[in-house]
Amino acid sequence: MSVYQIIEKLGITLPPVATPAAPYVPFVRTGNLVFLSGHISRKDGKPHTGQLGAGMAVDEAKAAARSVAIDLLGTLHAATGGNLDQVHRIVNLMVLVNSAPAFTEHHLVANGASELLGEVFGDAGKHARAAFGVAQIPFGCCVEITLVAELTPGT
């Protein structure tokens, strides 16, 4: 099954790449690696805001992390010229969770993104990861994620 068949089966619609207003870009390829910019949580096209440990439930933030991972897939789709099957491996994720000082379950939030990548890419979706709590995220978003992927050489 191609990655796109799996995505369809999961009922996922890939979003278009968000074009940053600022002087940076959604991704940069160097050699076989592609670095994706920090993608922030969105809901209905607007920032999905909230802080863990200050009113937001883990389940809602975990769903937000899954949604950010779908946005990252949309960017990877663009980075591969529309051929996600060129993704050889998801290498690394940095998952930032908007945290009040007492919240300590960032790993559970991050699993929302990690599990989606496993569902879509199988073993190739198993990545190294760091998850932790930050003081704030642009626009007050609850989650921000960066991703590094390896593309198949020669593609």
Measured from the CB of residue 105, what is the shortest distance to a second copy in angstroms? 7
Residue/partner pairs of 14-23 with CB below 8 Å, 24 or more apart: 14/70, 14/73, 14/74, 14/77, 15/70, 15/71, 15/74, 16/74, 17/74, 17/75, 17/78, 18/71
Q: Which is nearer to a second copy, 7 or 147 (CB)?
A: 147
Residue 43 lies near a second copy (rule: CB under 8 A): no
Piece in contact with a second copy (CB under 8 A), picked from 3-11, 58-66, 142-150: 142-150
Q: Say how far apart CA 99 and CA 104 lie, in whole Å.
A: 8
Told to check if 129 binds a second copy by CB under 8 A, we report yes
Residues in the site for a second copy, rule: CB under 8 A? 20, 22-28, 30-33, 35-38, 51, 53, 89-94, 96, 99-107, 110-111, 114-115, 117-118, 125-140, 144, 146, 148, 150
